[in-house]
């Protein structure tokens, strides 16, 4: 195998198929193509294997008697925080909607069973090439978050991965007619907070904010840190009419939140902006810009301290 071919096969694949003959067929072919394959015959074992192994991609192959459980897709999505690309294989992809359910938003696509190993290998290679392209494009960039799948401070997704997730959501929406929304959330006064309390406290402040977002949103919603004090959320299958409820819930949750940081109780203030597809059409970065415009319009030029310190209680 040439060095060039090896470079496109650097990834560990989690392959799950209850049919032993299909499992053997697919794993043998993928290994022959240079993939490192972890093969399982039980869907329920996939989350524990993912937690203990460095898995880059997942393929879940249903059979005539056993469909891919949505709960397993949901669990893998939660464990990876939306960063594990998954393929679902079933008898009738056109009629199987489980992968497009809000709980399965990390699924890249659905293929018919039995899947063509060559096509499947090409799909995996394309995903690995995309990840490598992000890393090359952002190497040396001032946006230190964009070249990674996860933000090293908060564990939220990176901006690079988030924009690709939006692109995939656009493709799903165009195919199945489902809309989605993007929400941006900024921690007001973060730079003043960091100057007053220091870098370590500021990072803990960001971690706590990420926890609040995760506890308030659905498990399938994808949270990304896209700038030093700014987060973006991909709300799968949430259209414009559902945004008011999400906004109200987030604002109420942050207003009630009090973070204890080394003896002080800190209450954060946030500003929100949003846009919905297909009300706004265009590539991922254009949708993000639309959400930022909405945020600026909502703030209306007002300024605030951005946080309140109540002291030790």
Residue-wise pLDDT tens digits, 124-177 = 888 888 777 665 655 544 444 444 677 878 888 888 888 888 888 888 787 777
Compute φ and ψ for 153, nearest 5 degrees: -85, -50
- 279 token code pair: 């009300």
Query: Residues 181, 80: one domain?
Result: no
- 221: helix, coil or strand? coil
Share of the chain above pLDDT 70, in %: 81
Q: Supply the pLDDT for residue 15.
A: 94
Query: Residues 104, 188: one domain?
Result: no
Look at residues 170, 280, 162, 174 and name the one whose alpha carbon lies nearest to residue 221: 162
Query: Which domain CATH number covers 250?
Result: 3.30.70.270
Last residue of a domain, one of 131, 149, 177: 131
Residue 301 lies in a domain: yes
Query: Which domain CATH number covers 36?
Result: 3.40.50.2300
Compute φ and ψ for 58, nearest 5 degrees: -135, 140
Q: What is the DSSP letter of 282?
A: S
Q: Supply the pLDDT for residue 98.
A: 54
Query: Residues 23, 84: one domain?
Result: yes
Residue 297 lies in a domain: yes
Query: Residues 126, 163: one domain?
Result: no
CB atoms within 10 A of CB 175: 10
Query: Residues 205, 243: one domain?
Result: yes
Query: Residues 124, 9: one domain?
Result: yes
Residue-wise pLDDT tens digits, 50-87 = 877 778 899 999 887 788 888 888 888 888 767 788 88
Q: How many domains does the chain have?
A: 2
Residue-wise pLDDT tens digits, 202-261 = 888 888 888 889 888 887 788 999 888 899 999 988 888 889 899 999 988 888 877 776
Query: Residues 76, 184: one domain?
Result: no
Full domain range(s) for residue 166: 159-309
Query: Residues 167, 294: one domain?
Result: yes
């Amino acid at each position: 195998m040439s060095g060039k071919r090896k470079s496109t096969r650097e990834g560990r694949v989690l392959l799950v198929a209850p049919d032993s003959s299909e499992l053997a067929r697919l794993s043998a072919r993928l290994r022959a193509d240079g993939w490192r394959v972890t093969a399982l015959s039980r869907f329920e074992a996939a989350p524990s294997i993912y937690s203990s192994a460095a898995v880059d991609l997942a393929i879940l192959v249903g059979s005539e008697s056993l469909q891919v459980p949505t709960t397993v897709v949901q669990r893998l999505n939660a464990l990876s925080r939306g960063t594990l690309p998954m393929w679902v294989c079933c008898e009738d992809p056109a009629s199987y909607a489980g992968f497009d359910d809000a709980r399965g938003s990390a699924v890249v696509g659905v293929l018919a069973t039995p899947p063509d190993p060559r096509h499947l290998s090409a799909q995996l290679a394309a995903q690995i090439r995309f990840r490598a392209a992000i890393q090359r494009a952002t190497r040396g960039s001032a946006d230190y978050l964009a070249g990674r799948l996860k933000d090293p401070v908060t564990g939220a997704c990176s901006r690079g991965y988030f924009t690709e997730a939006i692109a995939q959501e656009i493709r799903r929406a165009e195919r199945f007619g489902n809309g989605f929304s993007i929400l941006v959330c900024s921690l007001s006064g973060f730079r003043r907070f960091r100057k007053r309390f220091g870098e370590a406290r500021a990072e803990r402040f960001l971690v706590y904010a990420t926890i609040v977002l995760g506890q308030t949103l659905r498990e399938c919603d994808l949270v990304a840190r896209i700038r030093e004090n700014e987060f973006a959320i991909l709300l799968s299958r949430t259209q414009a009419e559902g945004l008011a409820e999400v906004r109200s819930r987030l604002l109420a949750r942050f207003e009630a939140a009090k973070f204890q940081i080394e003896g002080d109780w800190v209450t954060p203030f946030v500003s929100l902006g949003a846009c919905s597809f297909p009300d706004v059409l265009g590539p991922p970065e254009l949708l993000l810009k639309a959400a930022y415009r909405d945020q600026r319009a909502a703030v209306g030029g007002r300024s605030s301290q951005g946080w309140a310190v109540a002291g030790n209680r």
